[in-house]
Amino acid sequence: MQTEEIDEIRSKIDLSLWKQIFGFALGHKRILTWLTVSALSISLTEALFPIPTKMAVDVIQGKATDYGLWLPSALFAVLTVSLCIGVYYFIKHAGSISYHVGHDIKRESFKRLQELEFAFYDSQPTGWLISRLTADCDRLSRIIAWGFLDIVWGTGFIIAMAIVMLILKWQLALIVLGTVPPLIVISLYFKKRLLESSREVRKENARITASYNECISGVKTTKTLGREDLNLREFEGMSQAMESASNRNATFGAVYMPIVMTIGSAGAGIVLWYGGKQTLASAIELGTLIAFINYAGSFFNPINQIASVFTEIQSAQAAGERVTGLLNTKPKIVDSETVVAKIEAHSKANSKDEKLAPDGHEMEIQSIEFQEASFFYKENEPILRSFNLKVEQGQTVALVGPSGGGKSTIVSILSRFYEPQNGEVLINGLDYRQRSLEWLQSQLGIVLQTPHLFSGTIRENIRYGNLAASDQDIEQAATIVNAHSFISNLENGYDTQIGEGGAKLSTGEKQLVSFARALIADPQVFIMDEATSSIDTEAEQLIQKGLQKVFDGRISFVIAHRLSTIRSADVILVIKGGEIEEQGDHESLMEKRGYYHKLYTTQFKRERVETVLNSSSN
């Protein structure tokens, strides 16, 4: 479930922020121009609408001698048609702008999200990011489109009415315009208060939603504790608070309209009184008076709309900050200028030498070496301290140790998802910051602890590792990792839809597919964070056999949990507190009787119990 953000209301409007967001609308100049034209034409048409009535009254009264009723009729018809055309275009264009801007902001944000480094994702929860890309973007695009429309239309309408009135009778015009300042002040005040009180309602609502969530996911526990009545009583307290907050909100909303209407009527009343006297004194025509009474009642609407836009912008300020914040975050790990220059030089040289990588250096990775590599999020809390390790082609390294010890940091640094703050990582003796990032990452085959698959078919999922792979390559990769037999047993074979996150496959099957996906890229370096969750013995054996084939001839780093994987490694490193605690092969480490010995015994017991229990049901 996505959580709704309940934002602080910012009293200041940050103009540069809205300029950046409005920039997205400027990308659609043609629609924006038409939107402006249609909004202005509507303002003008609406401002002119009382005129035909005035003219008709003048004709009836015999005040207008140079035209008959045909003129107001024709004018009315023209205004009607022009208004409807305006309405048609403004809805169409404002809607289009809104969807276009939404599309563009989402595209840019999504693009940026794909480029940002791992550290960014470590600090942002998934649900939070999803709301940025959906709820926030939609909200901003709506404000940009409809807010722009309301401001153009509203201002245009007010100015047009003012001009028409001043031309008709400036004395009366001044009376009507006198109602504008109080209308503005009152509208802004009430909108602000409404914003605050509706925020209270949303807060209460969020509490209620959380409470429902707890009610449903904890229903068994509630039943065992017999807490149903107590829970209900607490919930009733919350729903009561929500009701009161909603009532307060409704009261504020309800009081606004009568007040602005009364101000409008006061204006109309004064016009009627002063204008009436003038009319009786034959200083103005009855038609004009009627038109002014109409105008007096028309001002609150545009002012109301403009005030709404301003408060809406205030309340969306935080959403805007989040989205522009995302757009303005620059990826930190990128190719340096020298590397970029080298890549360009290499592509210009148009060298056909397959032994060279796009950055002009060697393609083949013979060794990887960590030299005094250190990493930390906070200066005084190092995650990895002066780590040293050299691995040659064909070797497999198993990393073991307690969680939070630094194992995954090592592989993330190796993958250059993070860079070490001190020390370096050398590829064939050269600091990897002097190599192309894209090249390096394309040489890695990575299998994560929870094998994340995408919805779609098995074939599509395996091909994700190498978009150019043929169906034959895919089957071959699946065969190597022992996944082919289970896949062919599925009803639709490789074309089986596996559901969201691969939900229709078992954990073991998902792992096999993720091996095939990693293998099909034919990586020089294989990195695996082994799954801890238990899988049945049969699948485990399949996985083990498959793994050995993947390890062959590659440099492999495995965060290992299963004994069989650990034992098959060339080097076992026990990582604890960001440092190497023990290092060696299985036999030598067992003899040491240290951490590894203890870890191995515990894991041995756990795996044996699993095996015995599982074998009984088979």
Partner 1 sequence: MGGKNYVSDRLWIPVIATLLFATIAGVFNYYQKVFAAREANSICKQLKDRTYNHIQQLSNRYLDSQSTGDLVQRCTSDIETIRIFLSAHVVEIGKGLILIITVIPIMLLLDPWLTLVSIFLIPVIIFFGYFYFNRVKHVFKEVDEAEGALTTVVQENITGIRVVRAFGRHSYEIERFATPNLEYRDKGIKLIKLMSWFWAPSDFINLMQIGIALIVGSYMALNGYITIGTLFAFLSLLNIVLWPIRMLGRILTDLGKTIVALGRLYEILNQPLETADDSIIKSPCAPISGRIEIRNLSFSHNESAPTLRNVSFVVEPGETLAVMGPSGAGKSTLMHLLLRFYDPDSGTIRLDKYPIQDLNRKYVRAQFGVVLQEPFLYSRSIKENIRFGRQESEERDIEEAAHMASIHETIAKFSKGYETQIGERGITLSGGQKQRVALSRALLSNPPILLLDDALSAVDNETESNIIEALKSRHGTSTTIVIAHRLSTLAHADKILVLEEGAVTQSGPHSELIKQDGLYKRLWAIQNEVRAIS
Site for partner 1, residues 410 to 429, rule: CB under 8 A:
415, 417
Smallest gap, in angstroms, from Cβ of residue 241 to partner 1? 10
- Binders of partner 1 among 273-312, rule CB under 8 A? 273, 276-277, 280-281, 286, 290
User: Hunting for tokens 């709704």 — which residue is that?
Assistant: 4
Contacts of 542 (CB under 8 A, 6+ apart): 482, 483, 508, 512
Q: What is the DSSP letter of 493?
A: G
Is residue 214 within the footprint of partner 1 (CB under 8 A)? yes
**33 three-class SS:** helix
Q: Does 153 bind partner 1 (CB under 8 A)?
A: no
327 binds partner 1 (CB under 8 A): no
Report the alpha-carbon distance of residue 361 to residue 545 in Å, rounded. 34
Least distance (Å) between residue 366 CB and partner 1: 22
Using CB under 8 A as the binding rule, the residues of this chain from 459 to 518 that contact partner 1 are: 464-465, 467, 500-501, 517
User: In what side-by-side order are the strands of the sheet with 430-431?
Assistant: 381-392, 367-378, 422-427, 430-431
The token duo for 322 is 């989040």
Out of 19, 332, 390, 452, the residue judged to bind partner 1 by CB under 8 A: 452
Query: Mask of contacts with partner 1, 331-370, x by CB under 8 A?
Result: ----------------------------------------
Nearer to partner 1, 289 or 580 (CB): 289
Name which position in 217, 366, 492, 506 contacts partner 1 (CB under 8 A): 217
Task: Please identify which residue in 269, 402, 493, 577 interacts with partner 1, judged by CB under 8 A.
Answer: 269
Within 74-103, the residues that bind partner 1 by CB under 8 A are: 76-77, 80-81, 83-85, 87-89, 91-92, 94-96, 98-100, 102-103
- 92: helix, strand or coil: helix
Question: Where would I find the beta strands (DSSP E) of 379-451?
Answer: 381-392, 396-400, 422-427, 430-431, 444-447
Taking the least distance from each CB to partner 1, the nearer of 317 and 358 is 358
With contacts defined by CB under 8 A, name the span among 149-157, 211-219, 307-315, 358-366 that binds partner 1: 211-219
Question: In angstroms, what CA-CA distances link 235 with 203, 205, 221, 232, 249?
Answer: 15, 12, 17, 5, 21
CA torsion sign, 406 to 408 to 414 to 419? negative
**Residue 609 neighbours by CB under 8 Å, 6+ apart:** none
Going by the DSSP 8-state scheme, the letter that residue 501 receives in this structure is G
For residues 535 and 53, give the distance between their C-alpha atoms in angstroms, rounded to a whole number. Answer: 83
Using CB under 8 A as the criterion, what x/- string covers residues 126-145 for binding partner 1?
Answer: x--xx--xx-----------
Nearer to partner 1, 202 or 549 (CB): 202
Q: Does 236 bind partner 1 (CB under 8 A)?
A: yes
Structure tokens at 124: 């942002």
The span from the CA of 282 to the CA of 188, in Å, is 40
Which two structure tokens, joined as six digits, stand for 72? 């107001």
Nearer to partner 1 (CB atom), residue 57 or residue 400 = 57
User: Which residues inside 54-73 make contact with partner 1, applying CB under 8 A?
Assistant: 56-57, 59-61, 69, 72-73
Q: How far is the CB of 13 from partner 1 (least distance, A)?
A: 27
Q: Which one among 219, 341, 349, 503 touches partner 1, defined by CB under 8 A? A: 219
Instruction: Tell me how far apart the alpha carbons of residues 120 and 139 are, in angstroms, rounded to a whole number.
Output: 24
